[in-house]
Each structure stands twice: as structure tokens, then as C-alpha cells.
């Protein structure tokens, strides 16, 4: 009797859960799963003539036989990893300061200050950097006025500027998980580290970083994916020389109107980001569920 | 193992002074307990000794060395934290070995010391577990073990039993006492629980509002409290206080009148100036007995009765509104609403001036004295 009731109760519960999850499932299916299936199918065909397609691997072969494509691909991956690393190195001390040194109101104010730039659209923020760094921009004018430079200085359109832009754009996504994970680190654990004979370096290495690992991993995953898939920042700050893989995809789809090739590139980018995230998790001995949860 | 010397230790956070010049001598091998209500500065003082807080002014010496500006690692101390502060990502073994590893000891030596400490604390079977898989009492022992392996000059305990349930607290208290006998090391222990202080300490330091109220052995503090605060803090249930006025002062004798009681002659050395002043009379509940057999009697109506089995606590309301607790035998049949008389021998009484200082007792009877 009681068994029957519990089964019935379980059924109701499951149906309720399904109902609640339905919008999310629909969203995921229509906007993520379906387009990717289509993307994959499109990438695996070759256009023979108008409206006529055949199964082919030509798009992938083209990618590997054209050095510009895979050079851009590798460069984007390397630059993204470096940008992620840089964001971590800059973001960690900032997060540590917010989480461990600030108390009460000051903490909220500092946290808010990290958030404020994100009230403005990414486009506007990137234009902000351009206003500062371009030949006729604020920094260039200041250098000339103060006599440090003789003529206009162009600071846009190089890798360093792209890096600055990428780190700046993704900083918040590193700081939020780091602050929350460092907040959960009991002060007495750090104190015990010093008490047990540690110094700043050993305490950070053996206690703070192992504790912060899930936050570091989740911050790095988000920043890496955002950077790898970023189009605006490399394009505006790096100009024609930026050679970012998303720009290649854009060119295939929009300029060349070659959807087959564009789809293949898009799929390759997905594989790349999944692969690097997987390797990153393996190397840091983290699991995805730990990182997300 | 070493002695510890505090000389005029001051601590302030900005404009707020939390410690107002603490002087203290701790001898080698002594078990010292800092006790006091929360906010009295006892934890801050411990953290200063540990090197986790800076000293605003004053000198701190460990084993004859001035350590004011030394980092925790160079002080030769080991602390057991209230929260245990075990590292969740390390096994019990690694937690205990961590300090030695930082000290760059060789593997065999580390292993020997960790296993020795594990044996003393009965942690042998748990070395491969993580802290999250241990019970509260086991975590506590790991935290102690982590301190032991470092063979420090001074052990520091910060309210180590406060996270344990009552039964485990008593058991762990015994283990800490045994450990002290075994290691014979200097221990500084902070607690707000006067029972822990009484049972563990060689020397108790009672603190209040950033000052040391009194330093002494448990029995000295119990029998000869120098201030009203110490008298009220040490002993459970707390000492009874009631206001009395001084009627007559003679050498070594003072006559006081208790509201609703008869004038009594008490053996205290009191200055003539105190004549007519209001002072406070203190009597411990366990020294009072029902009936009028003693020299000092009180009458009152019983308004609460607590039966503990071995004894019964009667809460009396005196004529002046003050409350007096009496510890009666367990078989007492006194009921709520009855008016009873309780009395005590004059030698058991304590007398405190308006400023809270104890008057000196003359010819203290042996049963109310700490002298052995």
C-alpha cells in the first residue's frame, strides 16, 4: 500500500520536474543542439552546383592544406591560453585582496567596481580602448605633450594590445568565481599555515591554491571560452593583423558566402575548445562537475 | 619547552584599546589557562603570542628571546585552532606532516614523528582518511597531533573543546590533561569555560576587559579571589552577592548587617574609613547550608528549585530583592514558596569594597583556604 503511494508520489514529482525543465530543454535543443547538428551536416558536404550537394570531407581537407587557416587556428588557441593565464595571474591577487583583506562595505564597493565596466556594452568598452590607444588618441597625445615621443604613437593593431583588450574583457569572469571560492577559505586555515612554519609563498602554494582550484578551473574555462570565441576585441584592437579564428569563420560565412567551409571551421573551433578544456581539467586534476558545482 | 614572559603587552585596533598592559610569567612546563567572558581579550592575547597579531607595545619573550617581530615560524610555537583548521585536501597523515615538510625535514624523520604522534593520540587507523571523513573528536585529535609532531617550545590552544558535544568535551579534556603529563611541555590554553580552566590549569589567568584580574592556581582563585569579578566568574553555580553596610570596624573584625538578617561579625581587616559604607558580601552556594548552624544567616523565600540528583539548588529571594543560591543535599524536600533559613560559617564569607576589591581575610579556616 505504502509502496504504491510512494511510486505515485514519485511519478508526480518526476512530471513536475519535467515540466520545470521543459523551457530549458527546449532552449538547449532549439538553440544549441539543433544548430550544431545542422552545422555538422553542412560541414560534411560539398557544393557541386546550384542546389546540389554531395557528402565530402573537402572542407576539413581544405583547412589542413591551407597554412593560413591552421596557423590562425593554432595562434588563436595559443593566444587564448596565454590571455587566460594572464587574466588568472592578474585576477588572483585582486580576488585575494577583495576576499581576504576587505571587510563589509569596502568589499562590496570593490566588487562593484569590477562589475561597473560591464554595465556598458563590450563594443563601447572596446572603442574606449581605441580612443586611448590610437595614433591620435589620449595616450599618444600625452606622450607628445610631455615630450617623451616626437611624433604620434600608434598603439593599436598589435598582439600586445589584443592581449590587453582580451584580459580586460574577461577579468570579471575570473574574479567572480575566485572571490567566491576564496571567501569560503576559512582564515584560520591560512593562519595555521603560517603557524606551521609556512611563509607567504608556501602558504599560497600548499593551502590557498589547492583550496581555490575549483574556482581557478571554472574561471579559466569561462575566460578561455570567451576569449577563443571573441570576435569584437581582436577585430577592433588587432585590425587586419589580428588573425583570430572567429574572423576566419566570419569571412567564410559572410564574405565568401561559403557556409560549408564556415561550418567546418565552426565545428573545428568547438572541438578545439572542448579539447583544451578537457586537457586543462585533466592537468589540474579537476572534474567538470566539481568546477561547476 | 620553554618559559614565556609577557611584559606590558598593549594591543589596540586603531583607537580601540583591547589589551591594556598585560604582565605574565609562564614557567617551563606549566599549563596556563586564560579564562574570561567573550571580548575580554584572551584570544587576542593568544594570537599575539602565536604571532598572528602584531603587538602595539610591550615585550614578548619566549625562552629568553624577544620575539615581538618574529614570524610565527621562528617562535617555536604550535597552535591548535578552535576550528581545527585542518586542510580538507590533505589526508590525516599529510596534515600532520605538513609542518615538518615545510621545515624541510627528511622523509624518514617525518614518518617516525607522525607515527609516534598518531600512536599517542590513537590515530593510527585514520592516517589515510581525509578530515571530512572524521568525527569532531577525531578532527580535534588530528589538530593536536599536527601541533605535537613539531615538538614546539610552547603549545597554544584556542578554545579547542568548544566545537565538541558535552560528553566528548569531558573526555577530550581528560586526554589533554594526560597529554600534558606525558609531554611535560608549556601550554597556553584559552577558554571561556571556567570548569575547563579549573580542571586543566596549573595557573589560571582571569581576564576581563583587556586586563588581567588575577593570576593564580585554581584553588587560590576559588578560595581567595582578589576581586568581585573573579569571585563571580570562578565557581559554579556562581557566588552569591548581596549589599551589606558596615556597622562596626575593629582590628581583624568587621560587623555587617544583612538586610532581613542579623548583624554578623566577620574576620576581615577593614579600614576605619569604610565605616557606614555599602560593601558586597559574597558567599558560595556550596558553603551555605540549611538551618541556622553558622555565624551568618540569611532568610528568604524559595522561588525556584533545581534537582540534580546529588544535590538540589534552591534559589532564595531575600528581603532586599537579591537572590541567593543554596546548594542543599539531593534528598532535600524544600518546595517552592517556603521560607527557609540558610547559614554559613563566617570564615567562608568574602567581602568586597564598593570598587570590587576583596578585603583581606584574617585567620582563614583550613577548609576555606588554598594553602596545603
Distance between CA atoms of residues A217 and B98, nearest Å: 25
The shortest CB-CB distance from B89 to any of A198, A202, A211 is to A211
Same domain, B170 and B303: no
In a domain, B261, yes or no: yes
Range of the domain at A107: 57-292
Same domain, B127 and B225: yes
Is residue B52 within 8 Å of A191, Cβ to Cβ? yes
**What 8-state DSSP symbol labels residue B348?**
G
Please give the average per-residue pLDDT across B77-85, as a whole number: 92
User: Quick one: A185 exposed, middle or buried, by C-beta within 10 A (0-12, 13-18, 19+)?
Assistant: middle
Please give the average per-residue pLDDT across A209-214, as a whole number: 92
Give residue A241's pLDDT band: very low, low, confident or very high (50, 70, 90): confident
Distance between CA atoms of residues B69 and B51, nearest Å: 8
Same domain, B24 and B149: yes
The shortest CB-CB distance from A197 to any of B52, B89, B103 is to B103
> For the domain that residue A258 is a member of, what is the CATH number?
1.10.3720.10
Question: Which position has the higher pLDDT, A5 or A182?
Answer: A182
Q: What is the pLDDT of residue A4?
A: 43
Q: How far is B41 from chain A (nearest CA, A)?
A: 18
In a domain, B204, yes or no: yes
State chain B's mean pLDDT as an integer: 90
Q: What is the pLDDT of residues B331-343, one digit of tens each?
A: 888 999 999 999 8
Same domain, B220 and B259: no
Split into its structural domains, chain B has a count of 2
Question: Which position has the higher pLDDT, B132 or B274?
Answer: B132
* pLDDT over 70 at A1, yes or no: no
> For the domain that residue B314 is a member of, what is the CATH number?
2.40.50.140
Distance between CA atoms of residues B47 and B33, nearest Å: 14
Closest-CA residue to B210 (of B31, B14, B34): B34
Same domain, B221 and B333: no
* pLDDT over 60 at A293, yes or no: no
Judged by CB atoms closer than 8 Å, whether chains meet at B83 and A186 is answered as: yes
Which stretch of A171-185, B104-118, B248-262 has the lowest confidence by average pLDDT?
B248-262
Distance between CA atoms of residues B19 and B264, nearest Å: 40
Give residue A3's pLDDT band: very low, low, confident or very high (50, 70, 90): very low
Please give the average per-residue pLDDT across A40-46, as a whole number: 89
In a domain, A279, yes or no: yes
State chain A's mean pLDDT as an integer: 88
Backbone angles phi, psi at B147, to 5 degrees: -80, -40
Is the four-CA dihedral B112, B118, B124, B129 of positive or negative sign? Answer: negative
Closest-CA residue to B171 (of B148, B196, B203): B196
Same domain, B198 and B50: yes
In a domain, B236, yes or no: no
Please give the average per-residue pLDDT across B185-195, as a whole number: 92
Judged by CB atoms closer than 8 Å, whether chains meet at A191 and B85 is answered as: yes
**What 8-state DSSP symbol labels residue B239?**
P
Q: What is the pLDDT of residue B1?
A: 55
Q: What is the pLDDT of residue A15?
A: 85
Range of the domain at B160: 4-230
Same domain, B72 and B158: yes
User: Quick one: B259 exposed, middle or buried, by C-beta within 10 A (0-12, 13-18, 19+)?
Assistant: middle
* pLDDT over 60 at A238, yes or no: yes
Split into its structural domains, chain A has a count of 1
Q: How far is B73 from chain A (nearest CA, A)?
A: 4
In a domain, A79, yes or no: yes
Contacts of B79 in chain A (CB under 8 A): 191-192, 195
Judged by CB atoms closer than 8 Å, whether chains meet at B72 and A202 is answered as: no
Minimal-distance CA residue of chain A relative to B49: A195
Please give the average per-residue pLDDT across A184-202, as a whole number: 91
Same domain, B226 and B255: no
What value does the CA radius of gyration of chain A take, rounded to a whole number of Å?
Answer: 24
Find the helix or strand (DSSP H, E) in which A229 lies. Answer: none
Same domain, B74 and B189: yes
Is residue B342 within 8 Å of B287, Cβ to Cβ? no
Closest-CA residue to B242 (of B281, B279, B284, B283): B281
Name the domain boundary from B179, B196, B230. Answer: B230
Q: Read off the C-alpha cell for A164.
A: 590587453
Q: What is the pLDDT of residues A93-137, one digit of tens each?
A: 999 999 998 888 888 898 888 888 888 888 998 999 999 988 888
What residues contact B72, with CB distance under 8 A and at least 6 apart?
A194, A195, A197, B50, B51, B52
Same domain, B176 and B54: yes
Q: Which residues of B touch A (CB under 8 A)?
A: 50-52, 71-73, 77-79, 81-83, 85, 87-89, 98-99, 102-103, 146, 150
Name the domain boundary from B230, B249, B283. Answer: B230
Contacts of A199 in chain B (CB under 8 A): 71, 73
HSE value, Cβ hemisphere, 13 Å, CA-based, for B45: 38
Is residue B323 within 8 Å of B341, Cβ to Cβ? no
In a domain, A63, yes or no: yes
Minimal-distance CA residue of chain A relative to B147: A196
Distances (CA, A) of A70 to A66, A269, A271, B324: 7, 11, 14, 90
Same domain, B226 and B276: no
What residues contact B196, with CB distance under 8 A and at least 6 apart?
B33, B35, B161, B173, B189
Residue B57 has a CB neighbour count (10 Å cut-off) of: 12
Mutation pick from B81, B113, B148 vs chain A, by most beta carbons of A within 10 Å, is B81
Residue B274 has a CB neighbour count (10 Å cut-off) of: 18
* pLDDT over 60 at A9, yes or no: no
Name the domain boundary from B230, B265, B284. Answer: B230
Same domain, B17 and B133: yes
Amino acid at each position: 500500500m505504502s509502496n504504491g503511494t510512494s511510486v505515485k508520489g514519485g511519478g508526480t514529482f518526476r512530471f513536475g520536474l519535467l515540466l520545470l525543465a521543459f523551457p530549458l530543454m527546449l532552449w538547449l535543443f532549439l538553440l544549441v543542439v539543433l544548430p550544431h547538428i545542422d552545422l555538422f551536416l553542412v560541414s560534411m558536404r560539398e557544393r557541386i552546383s546550384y542546389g546540389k550537394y554531395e557528402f565530402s570531407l573537402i572542407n576539413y581537407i581544405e583547412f589542413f592544406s591551407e597554412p593560413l587557416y591552421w596557423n590562425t587556428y593554432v595562434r588563436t588557441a595559443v593566444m587564448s591560453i596565454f590571455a587566460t593565464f594572464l587574466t588568472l595571474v592578474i585576477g588572483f591577487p585582486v580576488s585575494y585582496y577583495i576576499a581576504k583583506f576587505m571587510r563589509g562595505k569596502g568589499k562590496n564597493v570593490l566588487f562593484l567596481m569590477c562589475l561597473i565596466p560591464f554595465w556598458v556594452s563590450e563594443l563601447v568598452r572596446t572603442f574606449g580602448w581605441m580612443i586611448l590607444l590610437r595614433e591620435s588618441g589620449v595616450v599618444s597625445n600625452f606622450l607628445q605633450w610631455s615630450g617623451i615621443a616626437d611624433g604620434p604613437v600608434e598603439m593599436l593593431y598589435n598582439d600586445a594590445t589584443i592581449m590587453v583588450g582580451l584580459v580586460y574583457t574577461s577579468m570579471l569572469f575570473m574574479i567572480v568565481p575566485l572571490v567566491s571560492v576564496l571567501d569560503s577559505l576559512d582564515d584560520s586555515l591560512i593562519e595555521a599555515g603560517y603557524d606551521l612554519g609556512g611563509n607567504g609563498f608556501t602558504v599560497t602554494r600548499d593551502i590557498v591554491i589547492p583550496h581555490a582550484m575549483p574556482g581557478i578551473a571554472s574561471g579559466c574555462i569561462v575566460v578561455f571560452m570567451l576569449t577563443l570565441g571573441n570576435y569584437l576585441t581582436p577585430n577592433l584592437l588587432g585590425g587586419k593583423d589580428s588573425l583570430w579564428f572567429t574572423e576566419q569563420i566570419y569571412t567564410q560565412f559572410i564574405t565568401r558566402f561559403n557556409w560549408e567551409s564556415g561550418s567546418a571551421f565552426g565545428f573545428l573551433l568547438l572541438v578545439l575548445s572542448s579539447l583544451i578544456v578537457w586537457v586543462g581539467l585533466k592537468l589540474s586534476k579537476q572534474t567538470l562537475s566539481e568546477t561547476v558545482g | 619547552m620553554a618559559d614565556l614572559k609577557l611584559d606590558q603587552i598593549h594591543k589596540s585596533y586603531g583607537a580601540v584599546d583591547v589589551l591594556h598592559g598585560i604582565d605574565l610569567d609562564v614557567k617551563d612546563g606549566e599549563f596556563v589557562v586564560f579564562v574570561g567572558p567573550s571580548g575580554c581579550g584572551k584570544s587576542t592575547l593568544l594570537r599575539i603570542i602565536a604571532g598572528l597579531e602584531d603587538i602595539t607595545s610591550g615585550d614578548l619573550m619566549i625562552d629568553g628571546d624577544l620575539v615581538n617581530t618574529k614570524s610565527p615560524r621562528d617562535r617555536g610555537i604550535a597552535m591548535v585552532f578552535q576550528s581545527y583548521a585542518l586542510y580538507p585536501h590533505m589526508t590525516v597523515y599529510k596534515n600532520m606532516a605538513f609542518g615538518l615538510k615545510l621545515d624541510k625535514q627528511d622523509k624518514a624523520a617525518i614518518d617516525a614523528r607522525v607515527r609516534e604522534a598518531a600512536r599517542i593520540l590513537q590515530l593510527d587507523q585514520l592516517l589515510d582518511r581525509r578530515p571530512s571523513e572524521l568525527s569532531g573528536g577525531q578532527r580535534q585529535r588530528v589538530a593536536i597531533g599536527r601541533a605535537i609532531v613539531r615538538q614546539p617550545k610552547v603549545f597554544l590552544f584556542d578554545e579547542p573543546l568548544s566545537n565538541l558535544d558535552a560528553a566528548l568535551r569531558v573526555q577530550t579534556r581528560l586526554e589533554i590533561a594526560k597529554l600534558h603529563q606525558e609531554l611535560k611541555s608549556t601550554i597556553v590554553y584559552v577558554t571561556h569555560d571556567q570548569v575547563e580552566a579549573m580542571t586543566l590549569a596549573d595557573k589560571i589567568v582571569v581576564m576581563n576587559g583587556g586586563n588581567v584580574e588575577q593570576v593564580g592556581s585554581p584553588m587560590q582563585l576559588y578560595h581567595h579571589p582578589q576581586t568581585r569579578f573573579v569571585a563571580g566568574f570562578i565557581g559554579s553555580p556562581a557566588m552569591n552577592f548581596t549589599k551589606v553596610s558596615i556597622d562596626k570596624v575593629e582590628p581583624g573584625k568587621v560587623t555587617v548587617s544583612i538586610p532581613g538578617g542579623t548583624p554578623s561579625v566577620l574576620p576581615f581587616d577593614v579600614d576605619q574609613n569604610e565605616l557606614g559604607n555599602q560593601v558586597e558580601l559574597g558567599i558560595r552556594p556550596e558553603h551555605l547550608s540549611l538551618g541556622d548552624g553558622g555565624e551568618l544567616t540569611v532568610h528568604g523565600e524559595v522561588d525556584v528549585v533545581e534537582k540534580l540528583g546529588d544535590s538540589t539548588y534552591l534559589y532564595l529571594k531575600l528581603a532586599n530583592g537579591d537572590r541567593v543560591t543554596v546548594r542543599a543535599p539531593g534528598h532535600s524536600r524544600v518546595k517552592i514558596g517556603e521560607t527557609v533559613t540558610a547559614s554559613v560559617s563566617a570564615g567562608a564569607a568574602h567581602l568586597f569594597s564598593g570598587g570590587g576589591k576583596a578585603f583581606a581575610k584574617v585567620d582563614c579556616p583550613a577548609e576555606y583556604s588554598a594553602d596545603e
